[in-house]
Structure 1
Amino acid sequence: MSAEATEVVRLLTVRGQTLAVAESLTGGLVAADLTSVPGASKVFRGSVTAYATALKHELLGVDAALLASRGAVDPQVAAEMSAGVRGALGADWGIATTGVAGPEPQDGQPVGTVFVAVRGPSGTATGSASGGKVQALRLNGDRTEIRRESVRSVLALLLGELAGEQTGNERAQDTEQNGGF
């Protein structure tokens, strides 16, 4: 259970919002991290591990022409995965990971190329989440390290979006829940 997963569950619980996850290179690690947090069932709707490229289209609605022309390791694919899982699982927020953990390059992309994405509810305060946000990563390390850092990065991206939207009322609720500190 990472600090990022704990904070995501806490913030979503305070807001009464839900989360769905679409994973490729992380193969279920994001979902595992989130569900290791006590109380995650209040906010976590589920996940789709679309490891095969065809499943990104079939299950998440990623544009088939986009996948055919650019491959699965692409920022627009990550964006469409996050939007697709949000819709498919009926969540307020959708996050996604796609990339190359190695040992070989994929779709013309070198090992360590990763895209993480978040898609939030329409009309969010910051504006970026409503249209989705994608972050490109160039990670070093072995396969395990790349996958772990991808999990941390997608949760950090979501936290950034959630923190950008936090209202005074949510801060007051959080302070109250923590004994006034």
Structure 2
Amino acid sequence: MATSPHMAGDAEQLAKTVSERASERGVTVATAESLTSGQIAVHLGAAPNAGSWFSGGAVTYTVEAKQKALGVPDIPVISEECARAMAEGAARVLGADCAVGVTGVGGPDRQEDQPVGTVFIAIHTPAGTTCEEHHFDGDPQEILDATTTRALELLGAGLEDAG
């Protein structure tokens, strides 16, 4: 199932906001994605002047990939701690000032005894790392779209005070 046109427009606009704020503040941005499989990075890479502020992204779907690529410790991956470690790991590994980390259960089945739609979104900036827990409704694509949109919103908000 493809991204809905409404969501794509929202995400495109939110990515432009991230671009403007990152450019204005002279900071770089990276992504660490699990359930969204690079969907956030796709929007950031397509945003204006991405070459000057977007360091890149890591898609770490498996537990082993999260641990090896981002230094996530041996913890439940559907957790705030994992999302924080992913964001901080992406900033460190990709040499970025700011990063977003997302992990969760996109469906169709529960994972780590967490219900479908449970998502953790962490934002790392020089000021520290914050995280939100969400419980999105819908089919797997709707959950991924909601996660992508909220991650871009939070990233834009986090960049407000960065730099």
TM-score, normalised to structure 1, is: 0.81
Partner of 2:45: 35
Shift of 1:72: 1.1
Partner of 1:101: 106
Indicate which of 151, 155, 158 corresponds to 1:161: 158
Partner of 1:58: 68
Partner of 2:138: 141
- Counterpart of 2:141, as a letter, is T
Structure 1 residue ranges without an equivalent (≥5): 125-129, 168-181
Identity across matched positions, percent: 35
Indicate which of 33, 49, 60 corresponds to 2:59: 49
Shift of 1:166: 6.8
Partner of 2:147: 150
**Distance of aligned partners of 1:41 and 1:140 in 2 relative to their CA distance in 1, 3 Å threshold:** same
Partner of 1:110: 115
**In the aligned structure 2, how far is the partner of 1:136 from the partner of 1:3?**
23
| CA displacement, residues 101-144 of structure 1 (integer Å, 9 cap, x when unaligned) | 100011110000000001111xx3xxxxx2x1000000001111
**Runs of at least 4 residues of structure 1 off by over 4 A?**
none
TM-score, normalised to structure 2, is: 0.90
Do the aligned residues in 1 keep the contact of 2:30 with 2:96 (CA within 8 Å)?
Answer: yes
Whose Rg is larger?
1
**In the aligned structure 1, how far is the partner of 2:148 from the partner of 2:119?**
11
Do the aligned residues in 1 keep the contact of 2:125 with 2:162 (CA within 8 Å)?
Answer: no
Partner of 2:23: 13
Q: Which has the higher contact order (CA 8 A, sep 6+)?
A: 2
What root-mean-square deviation, in Å, do the aligned CA atoms of Structure 1 and Structure 2 show?
1.3
Structure 2 residue ranges without an equivalent (≥5): 1-10
Q: Matched residue of 2:144: which SS?
A: helix
Shift of 1:27: 0.2
